[in-house]
Amino acid sequence: MSQPVQIAVVGSGYVGLVAAVCFAEMGHNVVCVDNDERKVAALRGGDTLIHENHLPELLERYRNRRVQFTTDLAEATRTSDAIFIAVGTPQSETGDADLSYVEAVASEIARSINGYKVIVEKSTVPVYTNEWIRRVIERNGVRREDFDVVSNPEFLREGTAVEDFLHPDRIVVGADSDRASAVLNAVYAPLTSGSYYEQKDIVPGCCSVQAPPALLNTSTKSAEIIKHASNAFLALKISFINAVSNLCEAADANVEQVARGIGLDSRIGPKFLRPGIGYGGSCFPKDVAAFRSVAEQMGVDFNLLSEVEKINVNQKKRFLSKVRSALWTLRGKKLAVLGLAFKGDTDDIRESPAIDLVEMLLAEGSSVVAYDPAAMKRAEEEIPASDRMRYAESIEDAARDADALLILTDWADFAKLDLQKLHTTLRYPIVIDGRNLYDPQQMVAHGFTYLSIGRPTVTPSRETHNALPGAVTVGA
């Protein structure tokens, strides 16, 4: 049985909060620190503040017991052996990550160190951040033998963050000393030894006693690069399939067939080959820009990443053209929009391509009635309701009398629409799907004109505008 470790987690955002409750679930004692008193009070009271599967149950089980919430970083530092920094690293104007929160936390930790501590960088940071943290701590008078700085990047996806934490593909520990590496290995021992998976009532996932996750020990710098390179590679995969989808549109091919055909090659793999309206979220756009910027600063030409970004921006513009190609002019059109979050299963709208598209549609003079199962409150802070922007109560409410329905987020519910009902609810049976949630044949069989990504447009034979670029008639 592994020994519990005394852990502090600084920051209670997506990564910090998930890490805190998951460490508790693994048997450790955790203090989660945030300088926002209202957040701390909410967390103590059991409000997760974010929409994340399994998080409410775990918070309920451990809050004020194995996970304490506090604003007191000094005390948390003194009582912990490992201190995980999980504060925000927003994008600065130049594309670099803004590391001022990380620096502020490092200085404060330094002032309270009272014995050997391992300071763990969990926020996504550029290579060399560990060295800066070490320097800041030394400058604050801490002896070199009293601390180590480790990089332990996180690969969590929003929506499945808890499952990803407890059933990871791999755990990366970048440490330059055996002592620090041993502490991190002890933190993750319940997972790597398989003992966590023996227990009852665990969060289900792909790891098991027989197949526990691997822990990869690396240098700190390699770990930092692994995080940025992983996100950049996934973004590249998405931009690649989006570029291929554009080619498929030009050639009247079907990108879903192409993605399947290439994804079956085990060297390529089927994941992250879903074409759409471009990647968004708080990670990919920021991390691709930061990785490009780090490379630039080090004199390394990484223009490939600029192309990845360019394709991503263009993907939204192409979708807007698609809407125009179906509706001709946009001024005065009433559009139903399904989805505002940057992907399904989250209420997060940061860098959401759906939000960008709604703004573009409003700028073109359309009226929008939008529905999202979780992200409407946040979206309304970004795009206030007005005479041309309404937040709907349901899918049906959004679709009522709309000139077309646009699908912008891949929520599971949006893939199960009652097509017969939708046909009568819409003013015109036109669906423009930015996430390829439907089979074109099924849509045309229900009488819809259906435009999607990288697949031929289908339209019922009685429609007269089927000669538009990219349009093919089915059933003629």
154 in contact with ligand UGA (CB under 6 A): yes
The smaller minimum CB distance to ligand UGA, of residues 9 and 238, is found at 238
**Can you list the alpha helix ranges (DSSP code H) found in 219-352?**
220-251, 255-263, 284-297, 303-327
The smaller minimum CB distance to ligand UGA, of residues 117 and 343, is found at 343
Lay out the site mask for ligand UGA across 110-129 (x = CB under 6 A, - = otherwise): --------------x-----
| Alpha carbon distance 422, 279 (integer Å) | 28
Candidate residues 105, 118, 125, 234; the one interacting with ligand UGA per rule CB under 6 A? 234
Candidate residues 238, 323, 335, 375; the one interacting with ligand UGA per rule CB under 6 A? 238
Candidate residues 155, 302, 380, 427; the one interacting with ligand UGA per rule CB under 6 A? 155
Sequential DSSP letters for 117-172: EEEEE-S---TTHHHHHHHHHHHTT--GGGEEEEE----PPTTSHHHHHHS-SEEE
157 in contact with ligand UGA (CB under 6 A): yes
3-class secondary structure, 430: strand
The smaller minimum CB distance to ligand UGA, of residues 403 and 410, is found at 410
158 in contact with ligand UGA (CB under 6 A): yes
Sequential DSSP letters for 9-67: EE--SHHHHHHHHHHHHTT-EEEEE-S-HHHHHHHHTT--SS--TTHHHHHHHHBTTTE
- Contact call for residues 196 and 26 (beta carbons, < 8 A): yes
CA 4 to chain centre: 30
Q: How far is the CB of 421 from ligand UGA (least distance, A)?
A: 27
The smaller minimum CB distance to ligand UGA, of residues 117 and 274, is found at 274
Lay out the site mask for ligand UGA across 336-355 (x = CB under 6 A, - = otherwise): ------xx------------
| Alpha carbon distance 142, 115 (integer Å) | 10
228 in contact with ligand UGA (CB under 6 A): no
Positions marked catalytic: 283
CA 468 to chain centre: 36
Q: How far is the CB of 272 from ligand UGA (least distance, A)?
A: 4
463 in contact with ligand UGA (CB under 6 A): no
Q: Given the rule CB under 6 A, which residues bind ligand UGA?
A: 124, 154-158, 231, 234, 238, 272-274, 276, 279-281, 283-284, 342-343
